[in-house]
Amino acid sequence: RDVVVHETTDPELVVAEFTYDGRHGDRTFRSANVQVLRVRDGLIVHSRDYHDYLKMAAARDGLDALAAQYTPLSVPPPTSPEVAVSAPAGSPRGVVERLLHGVTNGEGAALAGLYAEDCHVTHPFHPTAPALTSRDELRAHFAPERGARLRAHDLVTYQGTDPGLIVSEFRYVHRYGLFALSNLFVTHVRDGLITRSRDYGDHLALAAGTGTLAELLDAARAA
């Protein structure tokens, strides 16, 4: 349900966001999903799938087994240099590059200036994260400088046929190689500012790498 397909300037590549409604025994759940699909001659030739494994595992009492897959963490090395700010300022890719560079260089609350005052930012794979709908809320979100020990690598962006839409895949890698996490952001940019963004991140890997996995699992059980 809630299927949204984003066409890109690459005629073979689409990004699909959708929701699963599921049931396990007497439990029901609703989970977010996003896929990057390459379609050629009417057939899918490549797909990268991002799913809300926390929500699905919680529904079947499988959180402990899921968490065990994140201990110990396996960290493939980056395949590209750290993300730099190289695209034109105010362009969709330029805004994403500026955001990732700022997160990983400890710019903290100042990053709220990359967003429109009336914005809407969500983290669909986190069980309790609220929507962020103002710069004040974003300042509070970024203030802890939580990304200062991370580095952004392997950035690939897909420009939507809607010129204000950009989809970004990248990895955050701990500066000492302790953990890494994959991310996909679906971001809308207008007049050089982010107006909407759905940030799909691997919160399990982040929690395992920062020693907060138990708290994340408790939040998933309670959600």
pLDDT of residue 118: 95
The backbone torsions φ and ψ at residue 88, rounded to the nearest 5 degrees and listed phi first, read: -55, 140
Judge if the upstream peptide bond of residue 72 is cis by omega within 30 degrees of 0: yes
pLDDT of residue 114: 98
The kind and range of the H/E element at 210 are helix 203-210
Q: Are the CB atoms for 166 and 96 separated by under 8 Å?
A: yes
Q: For strand 115-122 and strand 150-159, is the pairing parallel, antiparallel, or unpaired?
A: unpaired
Token pair 């799913």 is found at 51
How far out from the chain centre does Cα 61 lie? 25
Q: What is the spatial distance between Cα 140 and Cα 109, in angstroms, rounded to a whole number?
A: 7
Q: Please tell us whether the domain made up of 92-210 is placed in CATH 3.10.450.50.
A: yes
Per-residue three-class SS string for 136-193: HHHHHHHCCCCCCCEEEEEEEEEEECCCCEEEEEEEEEECCCCCEEEEEEEEEEECCE
Does the predicted TM-score (pTM) go above 0.85? yes
pLDDT of residue 72: 66
Common-topology check for domains 4-73 and 92-210: yes
Instruction: Please report the DSSP string for 126-137 in residue order.
Output: SSSPPPB-SHHH
pLDDT of residue 177: 82
Q: What angle do CA 60, 64, 70 make, to 5 degrees?
A: 120
* Domain extent listing, the chain: 4-73, 92-210
pLDDT of residue 97: 98
The third-level CATH classification (topology) of the domain covering 4-73 is Nuclear Transport Factor 2; Chain: A, (3.10.450)
pLDDT of residue 66: 93
pLDDT of residue 143: 83
* pLDDT under 50: residue ranges of the chain: none
The backbone torsions φ and ψ at residue 123, rounded to the nearest 5 degrees and listed phi first, read: -125, 85
Residue 113: closest CA among 92, 91, 95: 95
Q: Give residue-wise pLDDT tens across range 54-69.
A: 999 999 999 999 999 8
Q: Which residues of 174-189 are buried (b: 16+ CB within 10 A; e: fewer)?
A: beeeebbbebbbbbbb
The kind and range of the H/E element at 34 are strand 27-40
